Amino acid sequence: MHNSKLLILCHTLSDIEWKRLQKFLNSPYFNENKQLVQLAKYINKHIRKTQKQHLSKVQVFKHLYKKEAYNDLRIRQLMYKLFRLIEQFLRCEHYKVNKIEQALHTSEIYLKRQLPKHFTSSLNNTKQLLTQTPHANNNHLYYNYYAEQLQSNYLQWQQDRKQEPNLQAVSDSLDTFYLFTKFKHSCAMMSYQNMAKVAYNLDTLYELLTLKSTNSYQKSNPAVSVYYHALLALHHNDNELHFSHFKQLLLLPTPILPHSEMRDLHALARNYCIKKINEGHQQYIDSLFDLYQIALQCQFLMTDQVLSPWTYINISALGLRLNKFTWTKQFIIDYQERLVITYQQDAYNFALAQWHFARQQYHAVISLLAQTEITDVLLNLTSKTLLLKTYYELNEYAPLESLLDSFRIFVLRKKGLGYHKQNYLNMIRFTKHLVFINNYDTSKLEKLKLKIIDTKVVAEKKWLLQKVQLLQTSS
């Protein structure tokens, strides 16, 4: 019984929903079977307990039917009926809070009953609710189309040939709904296609994007426009103008779409910038920083008010990259308490150590990293790398050599690193060459430089090349 659809569904019900479900089940309009009421009460009482025997089919049957002989078919039928009733209850709960859906269905009922006065009043109420809704997502656009279709049906039922039956409004609202929904899903497809190398058929989309009518629709509707420009940015990856339009819409003072959709669009824009930066287009660093700032203000980066330690570290690293030292330090301090408690101190120490490294305050870096006990493998690798760079900058070659050896053993022994393993092994190898190379041997320095350039996977590649260049200029 524990793996039954009934119990899995019951586990998702809140305390308030359980109370409302009991009222629902006690209503003769929905249920006249008292055994279902008792079954629901029993499940609610025992579902949070660790002893699984209480919710075995045999035990539940015994509770409901006392001394009767166990009947498996009977208990399974009862469970099925309760499952269907809970589904019906959840539909009612959903419908109850959706005022626009209620108003639309009420209008449709009045139209079917041929009550023009009631219909007109109800539809006007529906349209008023639609105008009061702050964000036009795909549900809202569908409801708008639904309302225009009801209006058209009403006018056609009136059979007044002098009055146009609202067909243009129906067509326009359907096009807007379709384009928004098509563009939204296509953005998800193109993003996943770039990430997972899946080949989707997007021929219809590409044809849509070339139509003049599509361009006019996106200009008249910001919700359609933001996905339109996102798609063009993804499709025409080398045209900066499309991303510029996309970014402008995301940074408007008033959000175009609900929080969850704006969050997804911001993630798409940030990933686009990161990809372009990794391809060597450094002009996207400022755009990425702008997007992170807005995302922080609007809480697009948090889940249940908690910020990922990696996001925290990436933002601080980006701020340092742009030499925004004052802003970055304040961010590190302000957002420490937003981190999950298990990473709070370690992520804070590491981010602050990065800040001190950027300020060339190397002894502070060593002090902070000595206070850090990092359990996350990737963060541990990044921390060791920062310490390695710090020792090098201080010309502390004895501790550096010791760290390089222990670092190499750590990477070799650690399982599940994937491509990170070779990344860090290459970095360790090249750093060792840097330490032991003869500064005046220009040919060896040039060979090392070319090896680093030719190696595709190597952590801290930019830093390594800078150090080689520095040795070359001083030789």
DSSP per-residue codes, 395-446 = T-HHHHHHHHHHHHHHHHH--S-THHHHHHHHHHHHHHHHHHS-TT-HHHHH
Question: Residue 249's pLDDT is what?
Answer: 92
Contact assessment for residue 314 and residue 328, using Cβ atoms and an 8 Å cutoff: no
Question: pLDDT band at residue 442, thresholds of 50, 70 and 90?
Answer: confident
CA-CA distance, 176 to 172, in Å (whole number)?
6
Whether the predicted pLDDT of 429 surpasses 90:
yes
Mean per-residue pLDDT, 93-98: 91
Count of alpha carbons within 13 angstroms of residue 40, beta-carbon side:
27
* Residue 411 pLDDT grade (very low, low, confident, very high; cuts 50, 70, 90): very high
Q: Which H or E run contains 282?
A: none
Assess contact for 332 and 316: CB atoms under 8 A: yes
- The predicted pLDDT at position 409 comes to 94
Instruction: Quote the pLDDT of residue 210.
Output: 87
Q: Distance between CA atoms of 379 and 81, rounded to whole angstroms?
A: 51
Name residue 326's amino acid. T
Instruction: Give residue 50's pLDDT.
Output: 61
Band of pLDDT at residue 180, cut at 50, 70 and 90:
very high
Query: Has this prediction a pTM greater than 0.85?
Result: no
Locus of tokens 């809970």: 86
- CA dist., res. 358 & res. 413, Å (int): 31
Average pLDDT over residues 118-132: 93
pLDDT value at 238 more than 90: no
Cβ neighbours of 186 (radius 10 Å): 24
Model confidence at 268, pLDDT cuts 50, 70, 90, reads very high
CA distances, 442 to each of 117, 392, 449 (Å): 92, 20, 10
Q: What is the pLDDT of residues 389-405, one digit of tens each?
A: 999 999 999 999 999 99
pLDDT above 70: residue 52: no
Higher pLDDT, 474 or 107: 107
Nearest Cα neighbor of 288 from 309, 261, 267, 302 is: 267
In the numeric block, which tokens belong to residue 224? 């359609």
Residue 457 confidence (pLDDT) above 90: no
> Quick one: tokens of 432?
């060792």
Mean pLDDT of the region 415-422: 86
Q: Give the single-character DSSP code of 70.
A: P
Query: Which range (48-62, 112-126, 358-372) has the least confidence?
Result: 48-62
Mean pLDDT of the chain: 91
Convert the pLDDT of each residue in 311-362 to its tens digit: 999 999 999 999 999 999 999 999 999 998 888 999 999 999 999 999 999 9
User: Can you tell me the mean pLDDT for 232-256?
Assistant: 89
> Mean pLDDT, to the nearest integer, of 462-470?
91
The helix or strand, by DSSP H or E, that contains position 306, with its residue range, turns out to be strand 306-307
Is residue 56 very low, low, confident or very high in pLDDT (cuts 50, 70, 90)?
confident
Tokens standing for residue 340: 């999950």
How far apart are the C-alpha atoms of 120 and 123, rounded to whole Å? 5
Q: Is the pLDDT of residue 93 over 80?
A: yes
H helices present in 237-395, as ranges: 240-250, 259-278, 284-297, 309-321, 325-334, 344-358, 362-370, 377-393
Distances (CA, A) of 291 to 162, 192, 299, 306: 53, 21, 12, 18
pLDDT of residue 160: 77
Residue 163: what pLDDT?
A: 83
**pLDDT for 430:** 92
Residue 277, pLDDT above cutoff 90: no
Rg (CA), the chain: 31
Residue 452: predicted pLDDT:
92
> What is the CB neighbour count within 10 angstroms for residue 267?
15
The per-residue b/e assignment along 130-156, b for 16 or more CB within 10 angstroms, e otherwise, is: beeeeebbbbbbbbbbbbbbbbbbbee
Closest CA to 324 of 369, 350, 292: 292
The encoded tokens of residue 105 equal 């269905």
Averaged over 88-100, what is the pLDDT? 93
Helix (H) or strand (E) holding 461: helix 461-474
Report yes or no: 234 and 272 within 8 Å, Cβ to Cβ: yes
What is the amino acid identity at position 265?
A: L
Q: What percent of the chain has pLDDT over 90?
A: 65
Judged against a pLDDT cut of 90, whether residue 440 lies above it is answered with no
For residue range 203-217, list pLDDT tens digits in order. Answer: 999 899 888 888 888
pLDDT at 90: 96
**CA–CA dist 291, 272 (Å, integer):** 11
More confident residue, 179 or 237: 179
CA pair distance 289, 270, nearest whole angstrom: 9
Phi, then psi, of 339 in degrees rounded to 5: -80, 155
pLDDT of res. 426 = 93
Average pLDDT over residues 5-32: 95
State phi, psi for 301 to the nearest 5 degrees.
-100, -5
* pLDDT greater than 90 at residue 37: yes
Q: Taking a C-beta distance cutoff of 8 angstroms, is the pair 229, 245 a contact?
A: yes
Q: Which helix (H) or strand (E) holds 457?
A: none
Per-residue pLDDT band at 51 (split at 50, 70, 90)? low
* 475 has pLDDT over 70: no
pLDDT at 197: 74
Percent residues over pLDDT 70 in the chain? 99
pLDDT value at residue 194 = 75
